[in-house]
Chains A and B, each alone.
Chain A
Amino acid sequence: MAKKPNNNRRDFLQLSTLTLGGIGTAAFIWPFIKSMSPAEDTLAAGSTEVDISMIEEGQSVTIKWRGKPVFIKKRTKEEIEAAKMVQASDLRDPQDDADRVQKEEWLVLVGVCTHLGCVPLGQKLSDMKGDYDGWYCPCHGSHYDTSGRIRKGPAPTNLDVPPYSFLNDTTIKIG
């Protein structure tokens, strides 16, 4: 087995066999890995239409969209003021209130804490709303303001705003 003239040829054969085998194995494993990703029907979860005519000023409702809670809040004048007053540059995840709403009084948020996914409190009148009068996540203590922006606690980013549109004055389509 000592080094013989044909060594280069042998190395080449070994290397190409291994490479081909490796590619083949990877190609075989791929479908298995991919089968664990969300299936087509899951992806096609679609959109939800919500009638918002019943929501009073200061009230907030929770609806289910793609298995997640979505908060729809009709904000009061004070809440809108408070949200606008903040300098975006002072925030952990800088964003102006205007960039988070389509119509000032309507705030639409995915109600999932951006830390580890709990549903923040603040939807019911009796709920704790946190130091910034928006939402408070009880799991590890994240405080969100009246624009759903993270102000205090471990969450890294603001509450997500889902894609939505106003079909008319009283109906929102989410998704």
Chain B
Amino acid sequence: MDQNRKVHQFKNPVLNWIEFRLPIISYFKKEYGDYPMPKNCNYFWSFGALATITLVTMIVSGIFLAMNYTPHTDMAFDSVERIMRDVNYGWLMRYLHSNGAAFFFIIVYIHMVRAMYFGSYKYPRELNWILGVFIFLLMIATSFLGYTLPWGQMSYWGATVITNLFSAIPLIGEGLKTWLLGDYNVGNATLNRFFALHYVLPFVIFGVVGLHVAAVHVHGSNNPDGIDIKSKNDSVNFFPYMLVKDTVAMCAFGVAISAVIFFGPNLMAEVDNYIPADPLVTPAHIVPNWYLAPFYAILRAVPDKLGGVILMFGAIAILFVLPWLDTSKVRSCNYRPIYKWLMMAFFVNFFILGYVGMLPAEGLYLLIARVGLVYYFGFFLVLTPFIGWIEKPNKLPLSISDVYSKNIEQTIGGGEKGIPSPAMQKDINL
């Protein structure tokens, strides 16, 4: 090998020793130390970091749960109850894990809303976005598999209904379903394999997160104005500025999740899941985890079995091609007077879909779900391409610092460039 290659020099001889053999120190310094963050990024940009620590929390709490969990239909329910009652701090592990899953989705949804509203999915970050949607898919799979493990009524019937979706596929459907279950209905073979997959998928997610972050670091982070970094004046180093900001966000998140774990650990749980699974009795209302309810609403809004399944998966799949559906060159919705409101309506619509997804699919609720479904797809397939063509965007600032200097001129009348006070910062996100 080339003995003359340039090696980074650090003060610490141990770091130098490592760096010479494996240039990992300089990699971390580049990616997480000197990495330039656009200086106008707001707290929306902390949700990636939050998602990462939540993933780590899920993996750690999961491993400790697995030490006491038994993946057998006769024992699974009791082993979870034993975790809750007899295992030291078992209740904490479990509440951390079940509520952690819900918070994981909340965080990732906000993270995605951020990417959509500020147009982060556009050139040159398309692959970063695609990897993100892929992570989202893996998360859905993981949480579905995990929800089966406590082997309560919701676990059993949720697994039954969802795996039956595959039987809608013509010709191969039934066979595929049987193959997935390892039996003709959800049973011990199913529980065993679901546990094995639930254990491994989070580590796969971890790997994809690595690629996802690496991809965004190539061209740098987007920002609320959706314009590129043009000079050193436009950015701050990740360390310490962004790290400190992320830490503040993590503290706030810690307070929120602790409040739920300690004061309302079952707020987001379904009571029926505290009844052991019974293959002969279906609960009156089968509901999915609330964070997957919008997709469940879409499934039920369609009167045809296969059609419902296609649209439900299509609702996620369509996210993959969003970068090519959007015809506007302007990233941030702050500069898109029409699309901005359609985007907001999309978020509200998604929320409403989730709400009706938890209610029985009849009468008015069914009608609302159908209207919501039309807007969901209409937004992506019609509004997004079309508005991009006809909309006249607002004038973009010349650079990120430009946003600040104009603002400072207006407020204090000087031409000084610099970091404005938080009060001023508020005005910037017009």
Chain A interfacial positions (CB closer than 8 Å to B): 33, 36-39, 42, 62, 64, 66-69, 111-112, 115-120, 137-141, 154-156
Contact B187 A67 (CB under 8 A): yes
> Does B279 lie within 8 Å of A64, measured CB to CB?
yes
- What is the CB-to-nearest-CB distance from A162 to chain B, in angstroms, rounded to a whole number? 11
Cβ contacts under 8 Å, A111 to chain B: 280
Residues A117 and B164 in contact, CB atoms below 8 Å apart: yes
Which of B85-93, B177-185, B245-253, B385-393 interfaces with chain A?
Answer: B177-185
Please state if B164 and A154 are interface contacts (CB–CB under 8 Å): no
Known: A38-B184, A115-B305, A119-B280. 8 other contacts (CB 8 A): A36-B182, A37-B182, A38-B182, A62-B280, A67-B183, A116-B165, A118-B161, A139-B286
Residue in A closest to B280 when the chains form the complex, CB atoms: A69
Residues of B near A140 (CB, < 8 A) are 300, 361
- B279–A69 contact, CB under 8 A? yes
Distance between A55 CB and nearest chain B CB, rounded to angstroms: 17
B179 partner residues in chain A, CB cutoff 8 A: 33, 36-37
Q: Is the CB of A64 within 8 A of B282?
A: no
B284 and A138 form a contact (CB under 8 A): yes
Contact, CB under 8 Å: A37 / B178: yes
Q: How far is the CA of A62 from the CA of B278 in the complex (A)?
A: 13
Which of B161, B182, B187 touches A116 (beta carbons < 8 Å)? B161
Main secondary structure of the interface of A (DSSP, over half): loop
CB of A154 within 8 A of CB of B305, answer yes
Chain B's closest residue to A69 (CB) is B280
| 11 CB-based A-B contacts, threshold 8 Å | A33-B179, A37-B182, A67-B185, A67-B187, A116-B160, A116-B161, A116-B305, A140-B300, A154-B304, A154-B305, A155-B305
B interface, by DSSP: helix, strand, loop or mixed?
loop
- Contacting residues, chain A, for B161 (C-beta < 8 A): 116-118, 139
A62-B261 Cα distance, complex, nearest whole Å: 41
A39 and B165 within 8 A (CB): no
Q: Which residues of A sit under 8 angstroms from B193, Cβ to Cβ?
A: 36
Q: Across the interface, do B160 and A117 meet the contact criterion of CB distance under 8 Å?
A: yes
Given the interface pairs A117-B164, A154-B304, the reply to whether A42 lies near B282 with Cβ below 8 Å is no
In the complex, A120 Cα to B285 Cα: how many Å? 12
A118 touches B157 (CB 8 A): yes
**Chain A contacts of B304 at CB under 8 A?**
154
Give the 9 A-B CB pairs with smallest separation, nearest first.
A117-B164, A116-B164, A118-B282, A116-B161, A119-B282, A117-B160, A69-B280, A67-B185, A156-B305
With known contacts A139-B161, A154-B305, A154-B308, A68–B282 Cβ distance under 8 A? no
Interface residue ranges of B295-309 to A (CB < 8 Å): 300, 303-305, 308
CA distance A89 to B82 in the complex (A): 56
Given contacts A38-B178, A117-B160, A140-B300, contact A68 B165 (CB under 8 A): no
Q: Which of B157, B163, B180, B184 contacts A66 (CB 8 A)?
A: B184
On chain B, the residues within 8 Å of A141 by CB distance are: 360-362
Query: Which residue on A lies nearest to B161, using beta carbons?
Result: A116
A42 near B189: Cβ-Cβ < 8 Å = yes
A38 to B182, CA, bound (A): 4
